[in-house]
């Protein structure tokens, strides 16, 4: 059904949005469940809701949302003016992820990441965003949350059991060691008394590494038939 729309939130009098979203019914006017950057803008300025395009199906609305967020860029990545904290196109709980929609998203992502300029821009933006203490603390709090750590650990173990993932991972490590800069940085750590786990590639002092890594490494113990490098 064509009952979706893409909307923008604008500081009153401005011609450029500070937030882009997609929704239906009253979603554009809802103030609950907005991120902290959105709340900071709204606390300081009056804002307007403007419908950018309506009478859309959900797939088209999600794709347009993604394109507009890329066009205007994000404050948290230092790439633009939007307070959005995702690339968009995520959909709602009821979103039906059809194969066509997945393919459209994949093609859009490939097109962006095939550009060296886009890759460099994203790399610089990510590095710069970590300099912002508020953003850094928010990300760290999510990373160290118990449920997130358990989920990530389980995901890593399951992926490592897959021969394709394991072989690709090991091949990447071998190629990294062929790079003089990477090899030198690792050797410098080794010279400073650090050792490297051959399974997860973590680096640390001898005591902790022998306790938690090598034959005790989670990746090693998760394998049915562990194979050393």
CA distance 4 to 193: 59
Which of 103, 75, 105 shows the shortest CA–CA distance to 88?
Answer: 105
Q: What is the pLDDT of residue 151?
A: 77
User: 82: which DSSP letter?
Assistant: B
Cβ proximity of 94 and 27 under 8 Å: no
Q: Distance between CA 145 and CA 152 in Å, rounded?
A: 11
Q: Of all residues in the chain, what percent carry a pLDDT higher than 70?
A: 84
**pLDDT at position 190, please?**
67
From 4-13, 25-34, 86-95, 210-219, the region with the lowest mean pLDDT: 86-95
Give the pLDDT band (50/70/90) at residue 136.
confident
Structure confidence at residue 196 (pLDDT) = 79
Question: Which pLDDT score is estimated for 114?
Answer: 79
**Residues 1-18: what's their mean pLDDT?**
91
Distance (Å, rounded) from C-alpha 85 to C-alpha 73? 10
Residue 103 contacts residue 55 (beta carbons within 8 Å): no
**All domains of the chain in start order, with CATH:** 4-84+97-126 (3.40.1440), 148-221 (no CATH)
- Through-space distance between the first and last CA atoms of the chain, rounded to whole angstroms: 54
pLDDT digits (tens, 9 = 90+) for 157-187: 888 888 888 888 888 888 888 888 888 887 7
pLDDT band at 51 (very low <50, low <70, confident <90, very high): very high
Given a cut of 90, is residue 210 above it in pLDDT?
no
The CA distance from 177 to 160, in Å, is 20
């Amino acid at each position: 059904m064509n009952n979706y729309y893409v909307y923008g939130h604008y500081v009153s009098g401005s011609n450029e949005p500070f937030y882009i979203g997609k929704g239906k019914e009253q979603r554009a006017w809802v103030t609950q469940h907005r991120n902290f950057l959105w709340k900071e803008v709204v606390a300081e300025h009056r804002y307007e809701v403007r419908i950018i395009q309506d009478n859309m199906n959900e797939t088209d609305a999600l794709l347009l949302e993604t394109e507009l967020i890329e066009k205007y860029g994000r404050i948290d990545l230092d790439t633009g003016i939007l307070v959005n904290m995702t690339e968009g196109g995520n959909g709602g709980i009821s979103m039906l992820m059809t194969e066509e929609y997945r393919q459209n998203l994949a093609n859009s992502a490939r097109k962006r990441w095939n550009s060296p300029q886009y890759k460099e821009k994203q790399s610089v933006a990510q590095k710069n965003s970590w300099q912002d203490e508020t953003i850094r603390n928010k990300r760290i709090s999510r990373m160290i949350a118990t449920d997130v750590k358990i989920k990530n650990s389980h995901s890593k173990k399951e992926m490592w059991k897959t021969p394709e993932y394991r072989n690709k991972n090991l091949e990447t490590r071998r190629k990294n060691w062929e790079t003089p800069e990477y090899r030198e940085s690792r050797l410098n750590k080794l010279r400073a008394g650090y050792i490297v786990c051959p399974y997860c590639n973590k680096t640390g002092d001898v005591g902790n590494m022998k306790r938690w890594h090598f034959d005790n490494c989670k990746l090693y113990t998760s394998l049915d038939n562990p194979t050393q490098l």
